[in-house]
A and B are shown apart, each in its own frame.
Chain A
């Protein structure tokens, strides 16, 4: 006999589902489908899209370069204060991005702790494309670190021991055994990181501003267009939605099964 689902659970569940799905459905329904091709081909849109993809990709590369070793450190080396460091790494996940942007300004701004030293070297980060990359890395890298650390913890450490008995140094074992075995986790972390970087708004606009062609990424363009050209904002939103769905499809074997 089939057991009944109690209305007290089913009701809120359906409302919750509607809350998540309706806005997206609305976006698709109200989209100005007619003439969407010409809107998408608008140089301003293409410029924002190009900038978004370039900066998100740069941020992901940086996150992999620094984040994978950081994840390895957290997963494999038992040092004092490891829990504290892990908490620090995850902080940007829960921190409002705009606070991250302010913090970045205080450190890398012209009068900032580090910026002060960079300026004489001719390096300026705020309000530049490099600044966008930095802001996105700050916000998105924790996603990668957490995913890769999980993958490394899940990978059997005894393979590294076997590699050591065969004469592999820790670095060689990491490169030739750990890294290939954790590759699916690293790839998933990288995709997640890229998606987060692509959607970054708060830290970017605070630290890098909103200059078309230089720091105006897709989310910033959407926000700006909403006041001047709502149809364009909807079109840009659709593009970001499409990207998100594609990412979900890419990761479906990992999380949506």
Chain B
């Protein structure tokens, strides 16, 4: 029962597939069109292209006939109904008798660990509890497709950890395809087996979390992974990117990406001698604390971020405006075809 969607609505122009039982995260910055994708899949917006579930076209169906469970960002639990009545709402709409629907709802509340909150109104629930009721409500209809909009964004840090673990379990039990959209890379990478990066309405990268963090293909992906990323023309591992030349030990040719972590960059006040073959001058643009390291942004022919220790920063007497040399060993760079 896989999902095949081709969406052309507003700025969004994407095509993707999600297999049965697979969870795909659509990760992108704000305004990339994530919510538009979700709303189009749910039938709340016209999709502008074919959407099929298990080989059956659903894009002509109104939302109430799509059998799609949606967990909304702020949950949208009906404030005038109790938790139980919220969860029973879907089964009732499907024509299930009241008592039967309530039994199903009670079972789902039990399953998300909220059995004793059946009578509580949404206003009396904590954020994490409301999230679980919303999930139970979406699943109680027996949906064929599960959609989640920023499922953890409204939670505080502590309940986030707990809910994330629970959500993983429920997602792994769900038989159909699930799609979640988020701007939080951690949510995307911990909840989904596959991540689609969505930028300006287009899918810019599609792969497992490990692939995306080790081989970013856009500025945004590189920022998510915390890597320096360049694109250029390679000839036997020597990459020309603009006016700069990067030596890698890949031996690749053609259009390539080169990525390396900020920790691989060493900074010097004068041109270093010796082994690193990638050395270029620049000027410090910014200095920020980053965990127990200091992140230095260097502008120049090859803009780069470098992580140094506070001690090194002090020894180098670095401040915005300082002239520096940045160096990276060829062995610490990672080149891959574009």
Contact B89 A163 (CB under 8 A): yes
Interface size on A, residues (CB 8 A): 17
B94 at the interface (CB under 8 A from A): yes
Cα distance, A172 to B137, chains bound together (Å): 17
Complex interface: chain B residues within 8 A of A176 (CB): 89
On chain A, the residues within 8 Å of B44 by CB distance are 161, 164-165
- Residue of A166, A180, A181 contacting most chain B CB atoms (<10 Å): A166
- Does chain A have a CB within 8 A of B78? yes
Residue in chain A with minimal CB distance to B143: A165
Query: Which residues of chain A come closer than 8 Å to B72, judged between CB atoms?
Result: 158, 162
Known: A158-B72, A172-B93. A165 touches B63 (CB 8 A): yes
A residues near B66, Cβ cutoff 8 Å: 165
Docked-complex contact A161 and B78, CB < 8 angstroms: no
Q: Of B68, B78, B94, B141, which contacts A159 at CB under 8 A?
A: B78
Do residues A180 and B80 form an inter-chain contact, with CB atoms below 8 A? yes
Size of the chain B interface, CB-CB below 8 angstroms: 24
A46 at the interface (CB under 8 A from B): no
Interface contact B76-A166, CB-CB below 8 Å = no
Judged by a CB distance under 8 angstroms, whether B90 is at the interface is: yes
A246 within 8 A of B: no
Contacts of A168 in B (CB 8 A): 64, 89, 93
A172 CA to B78 CA in the complex, in Å? 14
29 contacts between A and B (CB under 8 A): A156-B76, A158-B72, A158-B76, A159-B78, A161-B44, A161-B63, A161-B76, A162-B70, A163-B93, A164-B43, A164-B62, A164-B64, A165-B42, A165-B63, A165-B64, A166-B64, A166-B89, A166-B90, A166-B93, A166-B138, A167-B64, A167-B67, A167-B93, A167-B94, A169-B64, A169-B93, A176-B89, A180-B80, A181-B79
Question: Residues of B with Cβ closer than 8 Å to A?
Answer: 42-44, 62-70, 72, 76, 78-80, 89-90, 93-94, 137-138, 141
The 6 closest A-B pairs by CB, nearest first: A167-B93, A166-B90, A164-B63, A162-B76, A165-B70, A180-B80
